[in-house]
């Protein structure tokens, strides 16, 4: 026997306390594209490569600068860069012997919109400092 009183009979009886995180669900096409991007970002080497390129002076990085950071072979780094390129996150431009990569801002913008569609205040979620205060109380 349960001592839980006052709980709604079903999930449909629950009234939402907060605004939804997204306005509408992803379409099938959006899901496929987003899965491809997340798969590309799901590897720590690729995630770090993207970060290195994005934070590099001038917004672009030579492949020669990227290979020295990792204990990986040049072909392995090239493979990871190819995956990021095919996911639409970076673009490469050959200049003489080297290829220079830069992050595509519109790709990161689309990703950002999906991950953070509303501000914290719109969602009625406490800011990180407030959340820490609640946890410590």
Count the domains in the chain.
Answer: 1
CATH value at residue 106: 1.10.10.10
The answer to whether residue 137 sits within a structural domain is no
* pTM of the predicted protein model: 0.67
User: Is residue 66 situated within a structural domain?
Assistant: yes
The domain in which residue 84 lies consists of 33-110
- Say if 72 falls within a structural domain: yes
| pLDDT tens over the chain, length 137 residues | 555 565 555 555 555 666 666 667 888 888 888 899 999 999 999 999 999 999 998 889 998 888 889 999 989 999 999 999 999 999 999 999 999 999 998 888 888 777 775 554 455 545 555 445 544 54
Residue 129 falls inside a structural domain: no
Task: Tokens for 45, please give them.
Answer: 């080497």
22: enclosing H helix or E strand: none
Residue 2, classed as helix, strand or coil, is coil
Could you identify the residue written with the tokens 């992050």?
103
Cβ contact 107:89 at 8 Å: yes
């Amino acid at each position: 026997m349960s001592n839980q009183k006052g709980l709604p009979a079903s999930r449909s009886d629950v009234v939402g306390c907060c605004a939804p995180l997204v306005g509408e669900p992803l379409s099938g096409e959006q899901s496929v594209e987003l899965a491809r991007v997340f798969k590309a970002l799901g590897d720590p080497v690729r995630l770090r490569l993207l970060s290195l390129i994005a934070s590099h002076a001038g917004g672009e990085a030579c492949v020669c600068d990227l290979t020295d950071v990792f204990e990986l072979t040049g072909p392995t780094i090239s493979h990871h860069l190819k995956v990021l390129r095919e996911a639409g996150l970076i673009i490469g431009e050959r200049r003489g012997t080297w290829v220079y990569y830069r992050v595509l801002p519109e790709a990161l913008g689309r990703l950002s919109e999906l991950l953070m569609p509303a501000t914290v205040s719109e969602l009625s979620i406490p800011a990180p400092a407030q959340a820490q205060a609640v946890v410590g109380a």
